[in-house]
Structure 1
Amino acid sequence: MKNIIFFVFLIVIIFSCKQERRDPSNFYYPAEWEPQEAILLGWAEREPGFFPLAADVARALEGSTSVIFVADTSENPMVFKEYLLEQGLDTAKFTFLSVPIRQSLALRDIGPVYLVNGLGEKKVVDFRWSYQDYFERFLIEKGIDADKAKSDVSFFDRNQKTDSLLAVKDGLEVITSDLNLDGGALEVNGKGSILLNEEWMFMVNPTSTKESMEQELQRTLGVHHFIWVGKGLVEDGDVSKFIIPGYIALGTGGHTDEYIRFANANTILLAWVDEEEKNLHPIHAENHKRMQETYEILKKAKDQDGRPFSIIKVPLPDLRYRPNVVVERWAMSDSTIGKEFFAPNQGVQVGDTLQYLSSSSYLNFLISNDKVLLPTYLHVGSSPEKEERVKEIFSTLYPDKKLVWIDATTYNWWGGGLHCYTKQMPKVN
C-alpha cells in the first residue's frame, strides 16, 4: 500500500513540475485548430473577380465564426456590400474595416500574427512582408540604381504597416521584427514546433543565419522546436526563375501553406505526387523529387516532445496551365505577361509564349471553429478519385467538423488559395 501511495505521489509531483514549466503568462502563436474569434477577409473594388470567393467563404463561416472584411481606405464599401446582398448575405452580420493597405487580398501574408497566453491576453507580431525587399533586390539585379529601386518599391510601404494598424484598432501591443516572414510561411502546431522552408527563408533573408532566424522566432512567436524542410511546389514558384523550361509560375516562391501543413500537434500533411504520376510530366517529376526530399526529413524528425510525426501524403490536383504571351512592361492578364517580370538572364522576348502554371493545391485550406474550408477542382476537370481521397483524409482527421468545398481557382491563378486569402484571429484562453 505504501508503494502505491508513493507511486501516486511521484506522478502528481512530476505532473505538477510539468505544469509549472508552462508559464500562463508566456505568449505563443496558436495552432489554426484552436478556438477562433474571427476570420479576416480582404476585398478590393478594383478586383471584382474575387467577390464570389469572398461571398463563398463568408457564407461557409456564417453562424460559426465571425467575418471581418478589410479594405483600403480608398474603396467604396457600398459596392461590395451591394454584391453581398445580391448573394443573399446579411451585411449586418459582418464587420467592415478600412485601413491604408495596398494588397488587401493577401491578408494571410501581410496581416497581423496574433499571439495569446493563458491569462486571456493577446498581442500582435509585425514581421516585415518579404516581397518588398525581395523585389528591390530584383530591380537592382535588372540594372536599376539602388536608390531608385528603393524608391520604386516604396509604394509597398503601406503593406508593412497593416499588422500594426489592425492591432492598434483593437488596442493590442505590437512586437516588431526586422525578419522577413509572411503568414503563409508560418506553420506551427501550437506546442512549440514550427515548419520552415529553408530555401524560402534564406531567399527572403539572404544575410541571416539559421541561428539568428531561430532566435528571432523564439523571441517573437514563442516557438522553440525548428524543423527545416525542403523546397515548395513548382506551381508556387518565382516568375523570375525557370524551373522547367517554358513554364512559369507567379507564386510565393515556397510558402509552407501550399505544400506542408500541421493537421494536429503530431500529424503533418505533405503534398504528394505518386510514382505512377511522376513520369507523366516534367512538373510532376520535379514536385515528386522535392516532396520526397521533405518526406525523408520528416521521417527522421521528432516533435517538441521527442515523438515521431504521423505523416499523411495528400495528392495534388491535376496540373493546370495556360499559354501566356510575353508583352511589354509589367502587364498581366489571363493571356499575357509583361517582359519586366523576368530577370535579364532568362532571355525572354516580347512575343514568346510561356505556359503559366496555376498554384493549385488541396493543402491551401482553412480550419475554422467547426468547419474545414477546402478547395475543389472537380469543376475544372481534376481527378474525382484524388478529391475523394482528400475527402477521406480530412473526414478522418476532423470528424467533428464539416467539410466545405469552395472554388478558389481565381486565386490559384494569382499564386495563392483559400488559406492565403484568409487570416484567423484566435480567441484568448
Structure 2
Amino acid sequence: MGQKDTPLLPAEWDKQQAVFINYSGNSDDAVTTEKVHVVCRDIIRELAAVTQVYVLINEEFRPDSLRQLFDANGIQTKNIYLLPVYRLFSMGVPRDYGPMVVKNRSGGNKIIRFGWDYVGADFINPDTIWSKRREVIRDRYFAQMKQLLKIEVESSPLVLEGGEIEVNGRGTAMLVDSFHLSRNPYLTKKQQEDLLASSLGVKKTIWLREGPAEDPGVGRKSKIIENVYGNGVGGHVDEFARFVNGNTIFLAMPSKAEAQADPIKKITYDRMKINEAILKKSGDQDGRPFHIVHIPVPDVIPETHRIDTTNFQFPISALRHDFPEWRHGDSIQFMPAISYLNFLIFNQLVLIPKYWRPGFSERCKEKDEEVRKIFASYFPDKKIVQIDTWGMNLVGGGIHCWTQQVPAD
C-alpha cells in the first residue's frame, strides 16, 4: 500500500463532525452508575450545544425517559442520537473499544477495528469461551457503527485501545510499552509499528515507559502504596502525556517538593522524569524537538472505605477478589484515576477536568485555575470548560476515555 493510500488518524484539534459518548452503567450498582452519569450529562450538555452527539446506552435503558432527563438537565436533545448497544457495559468505553475513525488520504473516512480484550486479560492463554462471546458482541457492535456512520470497517490484528495511543496527526504517536507490549505478545515491536503505520499513518512511534501512580494496573497492581488502592488500567497515555499541537506535549509532572512530601506523587514524578527524557531524545516525525509543558498533578484526598462483607459496594466490590486478606471492618484508602490531561478537544471547545471540592486544600483550587490558564494560553480561540469529573474518575478514566470523536470527511 503506497503512502497516498495509507489512512491517517487525525489530530484531535483537526476538524470533527460528531462525537460518541458512553452512557452505560452497572445495573447492580445504581449509586456508582449515577455518579458517572452526572459527569456524562455535564459533558453531553456542552457537546450537544455545538455538535451531533451519539450517546451509547445499555439496551435496557428507556430512550424516552433519558430524553426527558436530558431535557430537565438543560441538554439540547435535538443533537442527541441515542443508540442502544448489546452488552455495552461489558465493553468499556468508546475511546478504547472503538470506533476509531481514520481519514483516507484519497478522501472519505473508514473505521479501524483493532483487536481488543479487557485490561488484565491473559493474551498468551486466553479464555476461549469468553473470546468467542467477545467477538460476537464486537461483530454486532461494529455492524452498528458501519450502519450508523455509513462507512466501511477494516480490521487490524493489532490489539490497541484508543486511550493508549496519542497522535499529533502528522505521523507521530506515543504509546506506553509497559502496557501495550504485553497485550501483543506474539508481535514484535517492529511488526506493531508497521501495523500502526498501515492503519493509522504513524511514521514514528515513541515508546514511553510507565504511566502515573494514580492510574494503577489491575489485580494486585491496584495497590498503589501501603493502604491506598486505585482502579485504573496501568498505562493509558491519555492520563499523562498529550499533544496539544504538532510538536507540543503536555506532561503531567508533580514538582520536586511535592514528590518529597507525597509518596504517591514521588512515584509519578520518578516515572515522568524517565518519560520526559525519552521525549527529549525522540523528536517528532521530522526530527524537530518537542516543546514539553509540565502540567500539575491534582491535589485530591483519597476516599476512606470500610469493608463490609454483608454489603459489598464499589470500590470494595471491584477489588476484594484481588485482596483476600481484607477482613470485615478493615478500612482502605481509594485514589481515583485523577488527571488534568484526560481532556477532550472538539473543534472550538476544550473540556478539561477540575478537582477542588469542599474539604480539599486551597492549593487544589489554585491548581484548577492554573491549569485553566495554561489551556487558555495554548487554545486562545477555543472555549475552555472545566468539568468536575470525580464520579467518572472513581471507576477509572475521564472525559477523554468516555468520548470518541469522528473526524470531518
* TM over 0.5, shorter chain: yes
- Between the two proteins, the alignment pairs up a number of residues equal to 394
Assess, with a 3 A threshold, how the Cα gap between structure 1 residues 336 and 322 changes in structure 2: closer, same or farther.
farther
SS where residue 279 of structure 1 aligns?
Answer: helix
Residues 67 and 105 (structure 1 numbering): CA distance in 2 closer, same or farther, change over 3 Å? farther
1:6 alignment partner in structure 2: none
Name structure 2 gaps, 5 residues minimum.
28-32
The corresponding residue for 1:256 is: 237
- 2: CA distance, partners of 1:42 / 1:269: 26
Aligned partner of 1:269 among 247, 250, 258: 250
Match for residue 13 of structure 1?
Answer: none
Which residues in structure 2 correspond to 1:204-219 (within 5 Å)?
204-219=183-198
- One-letter identity of the residue aligned with 2:171: G
Q: Shift of residue 120 of structure 1? A: 3.0
Give the 3-state SS of the residue equivalent to 2:233 in structure 1: coil
> What residue number does 2:277 align with?
296
- Is 1:358 aligned to residue 341 of structure 2? no
Q: Structure 1: which 5+ residue stretches go unaligned?
A: 1-20, 141-145
Match of 2:380 in 1: 399
Q: Deviations over 1:234-263 (max 9, x none)?
A: 111123113423222111111011011011
Residue 170 of structure 1 and its aligned partner are, at CA, apart by 2.4
Deviations 1:319-364 (A, max 9, x none): 3312334566995425655532x1xxx6633334332211110000
Larger Cα-atom Rg: 1
CA deviation digits over 1:297-336, x for unaligned, max 9?
1111111011000000000101331233456699542565
Bigger mean CA deviation after superposition, 280-289 or 89-98: 89-98
Q: Does 1:33 align with 2:19?
A: no
Q: Does residue 188 in structure 1 map to residue 162 in structure 2? A: no
Distance (whole Å) between structure 2 residues aligned to residue 202 and residue 77 of structure 1: 40
> Out of 86, 92, 95, which is 2:81 matched to?
95
Q: 8 Å contact 1:112–1:164 — kept in the other structure?
A: no
Q: CA deviation at 1:209?
A: 2.1
Within 5 Å, which residues of 2 pair with 1:279-290? 279-290=260-271
Question: Shift in Å at residue 225 of structure 1?
Answer: 0.5
**1:360 maps to amino acid:** I
| 1:337-356 superposed matches below 5 A | 337-340=318-321, 342=322, 348-351=325-328, 352-356=330-334
Q: For 1:147-190, what per-residue CA distance to the aligned partner results, in whole angstroms no more than 9, with x for missing partners?
A: xx443576644653434531243232211122221111120000
Letter in 1 for 2:114: F
Q: 1:231 aligns with which of 183, 203, 210?
A: 210
Residues 318-337 of structure 1: pairs in structure 2 closer than 5 A:
318-326=299-307, 331-333=312-314, 337=318
Quick one: which of 44, 53, 56 aligns to 1:67? 53
CA deviations on 1:354-413 (whole Å, 9 max, x unpaired) are: 322111100000001101001111225252222222122111110000100111111100
Instruction: Please tell me whether the aligned partners of residues 32 and 367 of structure 1 are also in contact (alpha carbons under 8 angstroms).
Output: yes
Equivalence for 2:350: 372
Paired AA for residue 97 in structure 2: I
Q: Judge which range, 78-87 or 288-297, deviates more.
A: 78-87
Pairwise CA distance, 1:84: 0.4
Q: For 1:164 and 1:245, locate their aligned partners in 2 and report how far apart those are by CA, in whole Å.
A: 46
- State the TM-score, normalized to the length of structure 2: 0.88
Residue 251 of structure 2 aligns to a residue whose secondary structure is strand
Partners in 2 of 1:82 and 1:279 — Cα distance? Answer: 50
TM-score (norm 1): 0.85
